[in-house]
Structure formats: C-alpha cells, structure tokens
Amino acid sequence: MNTVSAKATALRARFEAAGAVPVETSILQPADTLLDLYGEDIRGRAYITSDALRGEQMLRPDFTVPVVQMHMDGGADPARYTYAGTVFRRQEEDESRPNEYTQVGYEVFDRVEPIAADAEVFALISDALGDAPVRASTGDIGILMAAVCALGTSEARKAALMRHIWRPRKFRALLDRFSKPAVARDILKTSDPFAKAGPEIGLRRKSDVLARLDALRKDIETKPISAREIELIEALLNVRAMMPHALEQLRDLAVDLPAISSAVERLGQRMEALKARGIDVVKLEFETSYGRSLMEYYDGFVFGFYAETRPDLPPIATGGRYDALTQRLGQGAEIPAVGGVIRPDLLLELEGAV
C-alpha cells in the first residue's frame, strides 16, 4: 500500500469513527447529470467519453454529486457518509498540477440541526489535518444570494446574476451593465428580423429566436439597478475580516439591506456552534466573496484550508453546504446537506515539511 493510499485509509477510518457509513461510487458518471448541473462549462474541466449503450459518460470530477444522487434515491435520514478514491480534472492552465488525485470526504445529511452540521464538518476536517501548517478561510455564498434576490430589478436580470455568482468577473461585469440604461441592439430596430435569415436549419428554431428577441425588448424597458443598491452589493463583497468582526460589519449592512438579515444571523449561530466545537473563531478568516471559485453547487457556508508555507499548492481541504443540489437531484425532495474533502497527497507533503 503506497503512502497516499495509507493516508486516505486512515482519514476515512477517522470519519467512520465519527459515525459515517463508507460508500463507493462509479468512476464513470452519466455526463448528462453533470452537464445539467453545471452547463457546458464542465466540459472544459472534465474527461468525457461515450458509447452507443450508455451515451456520454464523465470520469468522476468529484464525489459529492454521485453521493447526493445515491442518498436522494433512497438513503436514510439523517445520514453521514465517507469515501476515498480518485477524481479526474483536466489541467490545461497549469501542467504541473495532477489531472487525477485522491479525495477523502465526509458528507452530512441532516434537516434537524444544519448549523450544528456545518460546525461538525468543519471541525472534523480541521482535526483530521492535525498539526499540518494550514490556515482556514470561510465564507457564506447564501448571504450574497439573498442580496441578489432582493435587488430592485427584473427576475431575468436577477437570474443572470445568480447564474454567475460562481464567476466573479462575469458577475461584476453584469452588475456594471445592469447599473446603466440598456442599449437597444440593431436587430430590434428592424421591422422583420427574419427578412434575410434563409431557411430554418440547425438546433435553434424560429420560436427560440422570437423568445430571445422578446427578452431583449423587456430588458431595454428595465430600469437600471440603483446606485444605492450597487453601493451596498459592493460593500457586501468587500467584507473580509476575522469572523467576529466580519459578523459586526454584516449586521451593520443588514440595516440597509434587510434581505440578508436571516443569512447573517445564521452566520452568528454558526460562529457559536464552531466555538462549541473548540474552534478559535477570533482567528478564523471570513470573506463574503470566498468560495465563488469552488464547486458551483455550494449555496451557503463554504470553507477551505491552505498551506501557510506553500502558497503554490491548491487547497488541502475544501467543503461547504449544498442544500439546493439535493433538491435538484431529488426531483422535488430535499434535505439540508454539507460536506468536505481532504487531499491526502497534499497533506503528506505538508507533514513531511513539518
């Protein structure tokens, strides 16, 4: 047994001791499920194959989606799972990073005490990292989501912003565009946009084009997002401090942005739950924007552990809450869920450097 496998086995045993049931998932996953969740963007980060019987298949890019699918198909409630195995990610921007590596994870499905479950997963991952020289970062995507949902603009514009929360540059570009009067596109000025279009071919039908033109007309009629709302969103995105101080800043913002109040109070409750688990929250970083470049199914609490002495390394461990994912894969059924994963190979690197 190599050292990475031994480390993975030891980590999974630790999670089993905490009450998790060990599970396995297939290395090949149905591509349509992941494409439906992430859109075509996932193709650039995953390995895809196909055959006549099964259609498109994807080498497992992570464990959470198949574990959620398994649970929603008939798992007990509540439940805790653990797993260890290889995931596959294309690395087209940094060839030094491996395109396959081991993950060990811990997932909790619990509708009774979700705040306590957040603290449980974070504390268990933190304990599993032992004395490795790491620092933790945390965030809460649910706070930004609540703010976007309350903006005084059209549902279409809010949906566009929500879709790009996990793409910070695109999100900011949309926010900037929606803060100005919309400019009519030339095609809307023509009396017959299909005059020189030729025959209807390809996948886009005339009805699809008409629907898109109608959406563009409605967008032109939409008033810009107010300067005050833009200012509040900017202030929200700039919150970055140790957790107690970040909580104070967010509570101040909630006075003018009451839509985030519930999410902010959940943060306060989570901070107390973390303290009860022995976490020194005074030294725990919180950033409203943190986690927006992690997996796109996170919709609440998010966290990551990073090597203090090796800034070149990817996160040693990451995790977060993904309640909406359970609803999408459960076909209407849902259950609050949170989980985290550790990279044993990176943990071994750090332990060797101590």
Residue 343 lies in a domain: yes
What Cα–Cα distance (Å) separates residue 252 from each residue in 165, 169, 179, 229, 338? 23, 26, 24, 15, 28
Task: Read off the pLDDT of each residue in 90-101 and give the average, rounded to a whole number.
Answer: 73
Whole-angstrom distance, CA of residue 349 vs CA of residue 354? 9
Q: Which of 4, 29, 64, 14 is nearest to 322 (CA)?
A: 64
Whole-angstrom distance, CA of residue 139 vs CA of residue 302? 5
pLDDT digits (tens, 9 = 90+) for 295-320: 778 899 999 999 998 888 999 999 99
Q: Let me know whether 129 and 219 are in one domain.
A: no
Split at pLDDT 50, 70, 90, the class of 46 is confident
Whole-angstrom distance, CA of residue 266 vs CA of residue 176? 29
Q: Let me know whether 123 and 5 are in one domain.
A: yes
pLDDT at 354: 47
The more confidently predicted of residues 40 and 9 is 9
Residue 119 lies in a domain: yes
Count of the separate structural domains present in the chain: 2
Of the listed ranges 182-196, 231-245, 281-295, the one predicted with least confidence: 182-196
pLDDT digits (tens, 9 = 90+) for 316-340: 999 999 998 898 888 878 999 999 9
pLDDT digits (tens, 9 = 90+) for 214-262: 665 666 667 899 999 999 999 999 999 999 999 999 999 999 999 999 9
As a residue count, the chain comes to: 354
Q: Let me know whether 14 and 56 are in one domain.
A: yes
Residue 112 lies in a domain: yes
Angle at 339 between CA 164 and CA 241, to 5 degrees: 65
Q: Let me know whether 70 and 191 are in one domain.
A: no
Q: Let me know whether 126 and 190 are in one domain.
A: no
Q: Is this structure's pTM higher than 0.85?
A: yes
Q: Is the pLDDT of residue 264 over 70?
A: yes
Residue 201 lies in a domain: yes
Q: Is the pLDDT of residue 213 over 60?
A: no
Domain of residue 26 covers 1-133+336-354
- Domain finish residue from 210, 226, 242: 226
- Domain finish residue from 174, 194, 226: 226
Amino acid (one-letter) located at 83: Y
Domain CATH number, residue 345: 3.30.930.10
- Domain finish residue from 199, 226, 253: 226
Residue 104 lies in a domain: yes
Q: Is the pLDDT of residue 103 over 80?
A: yes
Q: Let me know whether 110 and 189 are in one domain.
A: no
Q: Let me know whether 215 and 108 are in one domain.
A: no
Whole-angstrom distance, CA of residue 63 vs CA of residue 69? 10
Q: Let me know whether 10 and 82 are in one domain.
A: yes
Q: Let me know whether 129 and 3 are in one domain.
A: yes
Q: Is the pLDDT of residue 147 over 80?
A: yes
Average model confidence (pLDDT) across the chain: 87
pLDDT digits (tens, 9 = 90+) for 157-169: 999 999 899 889 9
Residue 179 lies in a domain: yes
pLDDT at 209: 57
Residue 100 lies in a domain: yes
Distance of CA 164 to the CA centre of its chain: 11
pLDDT digits (tens, 9 = 90+) for 51-69: 777 778 888 888 998 999 9
Residues of the chain above pLDDT 90, percent = 59
Residue 267 lies in a domain: no
Q: Let me know whether 92 and 188 are in one domain.
A: no
Does the bond joining 133 to the residue before it have cis omega, within 30 degrees of 0?
no
